[in-house]
Structure 1
Amino acid sequence: MNDSDPFLVHKASLNVKDSQKVLTERESEILVRIAKGLRNKEIAASLGISKRTVEYHVSNILEKLGVKSRLEAALNYQEIKSGLK
């Protein structure tokens, strides 16, 4: 099974109270990589975008998921992936 299952990422973003704050496709791709433990520089290289752009997306992800850290975002994703949420 592919670790970057779009359904799981979408399901994680639906846990957000405000339905206007669903993750974009790019944010979902970045969240999957955060959950895999990649750093911003590595995420940028894997997606062919700048590190600054990754930082921008990470900030949006944290806000949309209502979490304060990359770790919390990764844990949120892992919980959805394992069926705990």
Structure 2
Amino acid sequence: MGGQTNGTWTPTKRRGPIAAEFSSPGPAAIALKSGIGSGGATKSRPPAFTMASRHEPKNEKVGPGPGQYNVTGLSNKGQDL
């Protein structure tokens, strides 16, 4: 493996040219517009999501309180006999 034969190193066959062999500029030479921040934003609509949480409508009356039930003659296991 790796092009080794009996302890001596032999180079492997090249698969193609490397980036250092090209004479044209690399991808960093091209200035693309950013979609982040105010410097060159291209979107004209507001963002689709916000970081705010949703608030449920407050329900003023959910039912009678615990003092409204008649619990005489009851225990935690049922009716007192």
Q: Which of 1 and 2 has higher RCO (CA within 8 Å, sep 6+)? A: 1
Instruction: Give 1 or 2 for the bigger CA radius of gyration.
Output: 2
- For the superposition of Structure 1 and Structure 2, which TM-score range results when normalised by the shorter chain? under 0.3
Q: Whose strand proportion is higher, 1 or 2?
A: 2
- Using structure 1 for the length normalisation, give the TM-score: 0.15
Q: Whose helix proportion is higher, 1 or 2?
A: 1
- Using structure 2 for the length normalisation, give the TM-score: 0.15
